[in-house]
Every structure is written in C-alpha cells, then in structure tokens.
Amino acid sequence: MEMNEVKKLDEIKKLSGLYLNTLKPKDGKSPSAEIKMLNYSELGSVITNMLRLCILALEQDYGKNKMIDVGLILEQALHLFPTDEMELLDLVQEMLVQGA
C-alpha cells in the first residue's frame, strides 16, 4: 500500500471512531442500536403508536402504496416490547398473591 493510501485509511479509521457510533457489536453478536426512553410509559407509547401506524397502513389500500413497511415496523415493536420486565411483574404479582 502506498503511503498516501495508508494515510487515507488511518483518517477513515479515525473518522469512523468519531462518527460511526449508532450500531455497536456486543459480545461478538450482530451490531445493535440503543434507543433511549425516559421511562416505561414512553416505551409503551412508542410501541402503541407503532402498532397504530401498522393498523392505519393496513386499513388503507395497501396494494397501491407500499411506502410503509408494516412487517419491519411490527418487528421493531416486538424488539421494543419489555419481555424481561413483564416476567418481573409476573414474579412480583405471584409473590403478592402468596403473601396475601
């Protein structure tokens, strides 16, 4: 590799470290992006509105306009759903019922 190419490659590596921060691999797995939420209410609102968007898209004449990828939106809503927290709520409820 020529010296000029090495400098360009080093510059690209430097810039990528500064700017390419959205998708980060974790523990050797595929890269993932973090979505920051204020609280579970906001998370619930985001999921609800994504589902409403899908309902609206499906109610329209979907064959004519495929500008909204309903499958992709539903997949993201599934990823956002707080499954672990729901399991925790089940355990807490079970403990409350047993203690009553």
| Residue 22 is assigned to a structural domain of this protein | no
What are 71-96's pLDDT values in tens digits? Answer: 899 999 998 988 888 888 888 888 88
| Residue 12 is assigned to a structural domain of this protein | no
| Residue 62 is assigned to a structural domain of this protein | yes
Domain with 86 in it? 36-100
Taking the mean position of all CA atoms in its chain, how far away is CA 31?
11
What are 55-69's pLDDT values in tens digits? Answer: 888 887 656 666 778
Threshold 0.85, pTM exceeds: no
Nearest in space to 74 (alpha carbons), one of 57, 89, 87, 86: 57
Q: Which residues does residue 32 pair with via DSSP β-bridges, in sequence order? A: 24
| Residue 7 is assigned to a structural domain of this protein | no
| Residue 3 is assigned to a structural domain of this protein | no
The single-letter DSSP state of residue 64 is T
Per the structure, the count of domains in the chain is 1
